[in-house]
Structure 1
Amino acid sequence: MIIKKISGYELEKELPNTSEDFFNRSLVTYERDGEEETFHLLYVRFFEENMKETTPFEKNPLFTIGEREYLLADIVALVALLKDEETKNRKRIYINEENEFKKLFNNINIDYIKEIATSLQQSGSYKIN
């Protein structure tokens, strides 16, 4: 699998009676077996607002590489993809349980995430064996 891009963002209300502004979306674009795919992970923004309780991180940005600041939303989908092999077979995941979100970050190797982000900036891709 070759990681091509990681990103994330806060959703915004499209209509006054919708609840999009309570969620964040994290994406990973990768190539597997010659096909490019994008994995989407939608999660409740509350988890990011309470980052100290739900992740091993203190605050956004998590880290900076070059001139780009990486926020939690930028890496959540990547962490999920790296954590669980079955995630590769799904296009979308929604996490609304705090314990499920916390489990994503158990034993996370932030240096590995930084290595991937650095490679994406320098060469535009990162190959995972």
Structure 2
Amino acid sequence: MLIKECKGYELEKEQSNTSEDFFNRSEITFKEDGVEKTLHVLYVRYFDEIFTEFTPYQNDPIFVQDGQEVMFKDIVALVCLLKNPGLRERKRLYINSKQEFASYFQNVNYHKLPGIFLSIKQSNGYELRSPLDFILQPQ
């Protein structure tokens, strides 16, 4: 699987009676078997305020890679796909439970994430051989 792009953004209210401004969207675009796909993860914006509870990151941007600021919302879809490779077959994922959201971030090898963003920027993609390479294994 070739990861082509990881990005996140805050939704904005389109109409006065909607609640988009309470949510963020994170997207990962990848190519698998010659087919380009995008997974959209919609989640409650509040989780961006508490990510320090379940990640080693202390503030946004979570890291700067080759001059590019990477925000927490940029890694959400990536982490979800790494933790649950079955999401490759889905287009959308909605998470509104803090417990479910935090579970995606357990046992992730955060030290390897900057390499994905560096490769995307320098080589227009990152070849993901196995999602297990990004999951910490019990000792």
TM-score w.r.t. structure 1 length?
Answer: 0.96
Note if contact 2:54-2:106 (Cα within 8 Å) is conserved in structure 1. Answer: no
Residue of structure 2 in register with 1:11 after alignment: 11
Shift of 1:54: 4.1
1:30 corresponds to which residue?
A: 30
**Aligned-pair CA distance for 1:56:** 3.1
Q: Which sections of structure 2, spanning at least 5 residues, go unmatched?
A: 130-139
Query: AA paired with 2:76?
Result: V
RMSD between superposed Cα atoms in Å: 0.9
**Could you tell me which residue of structure 2 aligns to residue 98 of structure 1?**
98
Q: Which amino acid aligns with 2:99?
A: N
Q: Aligned ranges for residues 1-129 of structure 1 at < 5 Å?
A: 1-129=1-129
Q: Normalising by structure 2, report the TM-score.
A: 0.89
1:43-80 Cα offsets, whole Å, 9 max, x none, are 00001112222433211100001221000110000001
What SS does the corresponding residue of 1:31 show, helix, strand or coil?
strand
Q: Which amino acid aligns with 1:70?
A: V
Shift of 1:115: 0.9
1: CA distance, partners of 2:68 / 2:85 = 28
Cα displacement string for residues 70-128 of structure 1 (whole angstroms, at most 9, x for unaligned residues): 00110000001111121111110000000011011101111221111110011010111
Judged with a 3 Å threshold, the aligned counterparts in structure 2 of structure 1 residues 56 and 101 are, in CA distance, closer, same or farther, namely farther
Conserved? CA contact 1:48–1:54, under 8 Å: no
> Partners in 1 of 2:17 and 2:93 — Cα distance?
23
Deviates more, 1:36-45 or 1:48-57: 48-57
Distance 1:82 1:51 in 2: 18
CA distance in 2, matches of 1:125, 1:91: 20
Number of residue-to-residue matches in the alignment: 129
Question: How high is the sequence identity, in percent, across the aligned residues?
Answer: 49
Assess if the C-alpha contact under 8 Å between 1:52 and 1:59 holds in 2.
yes
- Structure 1 residues without counterparts, runs of 5 or longer: none
Report the 3-state secondary structure (helix = DSSP H, G, I; strand = E; otherwise coil) of the residue aligned with 1:16. Answer: coil
